[in-house]
Chain A
């Protein structure tokens, strides 16, 4: 079974809970935003809408990052999850160039949010984020593998209940039945993350 995620933009309020919950669950260093929210205004005043798009790795079926990775660090699991074996990552950033979704981050240094001295939390969490390697959303595969019933930090946090994680086939069916779409579908990457647009109620 492959995993997928559905994000319902009608429900999403753009509150950044997914973003910060991801950061604290994984201890990602400054500048690494595995999960974040992009907001754009469309239209001209007063006929405007704000398109709110929570972003993360799309865990593409045809993942260009995996294809270009020279060291074999970027890999795709049988369940569709794209991940990086940091022991193999050489920090060449080719995957970052290849990713159409800007979902990857390179850790330049070993600084924490308050500079060189790491706080208590950072001291525990940052060794898993080595300098000179690339980082990205893992669909919380560590937690899936550990058997957590609610593995995804972003899904669990979401105050609006806008995210669903599970069997990609079911996610896709649910999305398509609700007018869902994939980001940059024309790239041919076939993302495992589906979005349902925020249509206005009449």
Chain B
């Protein structure tokens, strides 16, 4: 099956390993190292200069070069000197010019003159001065905060990630705003489980060494996901070399396009498929027993009555059965721990966690899963066996002289699994397959994007981070995404007081990283004893189109007193805003560290060094529109002068790890270039400040060491949770708190081993006509709201004949008397409707319809290209129903049944 031989890996310098090496004969993307000459992007247009900067057409922030001639950007390419993008540029990135020069952009502050807000209302925008805009906003927010400090909130989303963080800090330091209105659901739950298993909230297949990859609900590396421009190349080469790809997706998206096995799955059933694979692995002994003993808590002895892990009296350490001494000992004292069996401890017959698992998983057979998933049992069995056999259980490999486990198989997941009820159980069901075969944190397996860092030079550890150890079970703890600060879910469960301080009620969700529950509390503030947000400052997002039915969301925003937006465009959210501030386009502004501390969107591997790229303006901003750093510095300075500046810069200094000797003056308005210089010098060294970056091509790299890529070398301690005993503790504490507060809550999903549980619309209810599941996806040319309006991407979308339409299975459509070209109406069980043009296809599950969804079907007439384009399937969903929210991780259950009719 896999026609490659394992070879020990030696770290190679980036240049030698670069995919874009040039030879005399063949030029281009040869995949093998072919020479030591770094490829040169030579300016072939007669004049101008090539300026290094960073892309922001999506949140991956690839390094790019802008060709500027006479003050006009005439071409954007990838920057071959940078591992971030490897010199490639995607369709979105290449189309950045048409965002920069889009005549629909706003470049001056505007205020609304028509007090009536709505999708059908013309706001009557009137240009105002920056002075008036800043003064009005400052006055309104100060007054609102004085009246009710919980009445103000900010909103932003992941594509404007760095500005989003700055927005949150600035609003806090300027006015004391602490609430966030989070509509961008991203990877709710997924980052949590990835952090629990790899220390890094963003994990991925070790593409360069993987031989067998199973994807659930993701098309990572073929169309999407963090570091796409970096993974696409590695992944493509590996497929070429024989990697077998299995893709579970109801719609034939890019992952399924490239898959060797496409398993069209009924939406909302991924966990059942994964558990069936786990069943086969367990039944057939395709298990890495040594991994489970050494790298998990599967040996923990379980109390038969409470189902809790037995623990040592004083240290609270988990007890294992030690075959060497025939006694129950703390996990780190058991020389020969028993993985299987039942043992008498204090008069009770206690099974090991793995023994409990075997009984738990036994009924979850492929035949059981076939009923739920519609995937033939034979396919699930085949995939399980191939996966288990390809795992090379027991093998090791030497990387740069270090012996490491070699398990060249991985299960990868993303949004398709996340946007459901019981999200954490589904995420866990999928990713634990990596634990069963020992591929978690192994070479070729499932590893963090940047799980550990020793610093960006050999002698300055300032930028470093590494997860700690939760001693009671020996579990690895995590480091937070982007800022790389120490983080421990176990400590949170143990030490939080669970008193809600935010309207997202995150304190009641110790395993969550998302505040999406705010959508529920805002709809039912009395029930949850929260206030109501009346003033909103949104930055670079479009929350009215993200969360659920747009008209339902509109009613909420209409009721607010004062809304300020910052964006390049008058998007749909602007229709409900009172003041709009323009931001500079990414090609016109500065940013600090494009990838913060490089554990989120930069793909870490032995051939992909730590990379710090310069983000600088390549042309002046139109009408002097500020970048977000300038804009927030101004807001903070105006709000409170020296005291506010001190809070703002002090917080930023802490987050960016600025050393005191390099800090900009704390009491003055933030100077963005000086601040960037201080961040670079603190984290690299005195030499590598902003001037060095400007003079030396804008890219700094530092090779990774083995322990930064594969955290489990040799005898480094650390385990993943196999039996989630901490769920009992969290459940008990959450239940006590919600009882005290008298608020309704769900805690059923706090269980120690994963299960598949159906979303509320999974099974049909009363009316059999509701027999269609809408599923959305995105493709490589579109992301979020930033690309909807782009003239070139729109041309691609219009040309492909599906992006702006509703896809439906040919046979299902025929049975309903529908055909391509029909205008159809989808009606959800919530009563919401969406219309669109039908395209029939063989590439979709018979129970589904699908469309590309980001922020589509724009109502704003000021976005002349995006206006009316696309189908917003999200609008079929009710967004205020608590039963649709996963109460553990704030995930939103977007599975809803619809009926489809010809218009």
Q: Can you report 12 A-B residue pairs in the complex whose CB atoms are below 8 A from each other?
A: A20-B91, A41-B252, A114-B102, A114-B104, A117-B103, A120-B101, A121-B101, A146-B42, A150-B28, A159-B90, A164-B27, A166-B25
Interface string of A7-43 (1 = CB under 8 A from B): 0101111111101110111010011010010010101
Does B780 count as interface, using CB distance less than 8 angstroms? yes
- Whether the Cβ atoms of A201 and B78 lie closer than 8 Å is no
What are the 5 A-B residue pairs with the smallest beta carbon separation, nearest first? Answer: A15-B780, A161-B29, A113-B791, A11-B236, A166-B26
Contact partner, B792, options A15, A23, A43, Cβ 8 Å = A23
Contact partner, B94, options A14, A17, A44, A161, Cβ 8 Å = A17
- Whether the Cβ atoms of B239 and A10 lie closer than 8 Å is yes
Given contacts A125-B74, A156-B77, A161-B236, contact A149 B22 (CB under 8 A): yes
| B-chain residues with CB within 8 Å of residue A201 when the two chains form the complex | 1, 239, 242-245, 260
- Whether the Cβ atoms of A30 and B254 lie closer than 8 Å is no
Does B257 count as interface, using CB distance less than 8 angstroms? yes
- Whether the Cβ atoms of B257 and A158 lie closer than 8 Å is no
Beyond A15-B90, A152-B28, A156-B78, list 13 extra A-B contacts (CB 8 Å).
A10-B236, A13-B222, A13-B258, A21-B77, A24-B97, A30-B791, A36-B796, A148-B44, A149-B27, A157-B90, A159-B90, A160-B232, A201-B245
Number of interface residues of B (CB under 8 A): 85
Does B149 count as interface, using CB distance less than 8 angstroms? no
Q: Which residue from chain B places its CB closest to the CB of A23 in the assembled complex?
A: B792
Q: Which residue from chain A places its CB closest to the CB of B3 in the assembled complex?
A: A201
Does B758 count as interface, using CB distance less than 8 angstroms? no
- Give Cα distance in the complex from A75 to B229, angstroms: 37
| A-chain residues with CB within 8 Å of residue B25 when the two chains form the complex | 166-167, 170
Does A62 count as interface, using CB distance less than 8 angstroms? no
**Chain A residues near B (Cβ < 8 Å):** 8, 10-17, 19-21, 23-25, 27, 30-31, 33, 36, 39, 41, 43-46, 48-50, 52, 113-114, 117, 119-125, 142-143, 146-153, 155-167, 170-171, 174, 198, 200-202
| A-chain residues with CB within 8 Å of residue B93 when the two chains form the complex | 17
| B-chain residues with CB within 8 Å of residue A160 when the two chains form the complex | 232-233, 235-236
- Give Cα distance in the complex from A164 to B26, angstroms: 7
Does B333 count as interface, using CB distance less than 8 angstroms? no
Contact partner, A162, options B73, B236, B254, Cβ 8 Å = B236
- Give Cα distance in the complex from A165 to B88, angstroms: 15
Does B800 count as interface, using CB distance less than 8 angstroms? yes
| B-chain residues with CB within 8 Å of residue A143 when the two chains form the complex | 44
| A-chain residues with CB within 8 Å of residue B792 when the two chains form the complex | 20, 23-24, 113
- Give Cα distance in the complex from A153 to B90, angstroms: 11
- Give Cα distance in the complex from A122 to B232, angstroms: 31
| B-chain residues with CB within 8 Å of residue A15 when the two chains form the complex | 90-91, 222-223, 232, 254, 779-781
Does B864 count as interface, using CB distance less than 8 angstroms? yes
Query: Which chain B residues (798-834) contact chain A, with CB distance < 8 Å?
Result: 799-800, 809-811
- Give Cα distance in the complex from A151 to B76, angstroms: 14
- Give Cα distance in the complex from A125 to B239, angstroms: 38
| A-chain residues with CB within 8 Å of residue B30 when the two chains form the complex | 161, 164
- Give Cα distance in the complex from A124 to B101, angstroms: 12
- Whether the Cβ atoms of A150 and B103 lie closer than 8 Å is no
- Give Cα distance in the complex from A11 to B44, angstroms: 28
- Whether the Cβ atoms of A150 and B780 lie closer than 8 Å is no
| B-chain residues with CB within 8 Å of residue A198 when the two chains form the complex | 258
- Give Cα distance in the complex from A193 to B41, angstroms: 23
- Whether the Cβ atoms of B228 and A159 lie closer than 8 Å is yes
Given contacts A10-B240, A143-B44, contact A41 B94 (CB under 8 A): no
| A-chain residues with CB within 8 Å of residue B846 when the two chains form the complex | 45
- Give Cα distance in the complex from A39 to B796, angstroms: 12
| A-chain residues with CB within 8 Å of residue B160 when the two chains form the complex | none
| B-chain residues with CB within 8 Å of residue A119 when the two chains form the complex | 98, 101-103
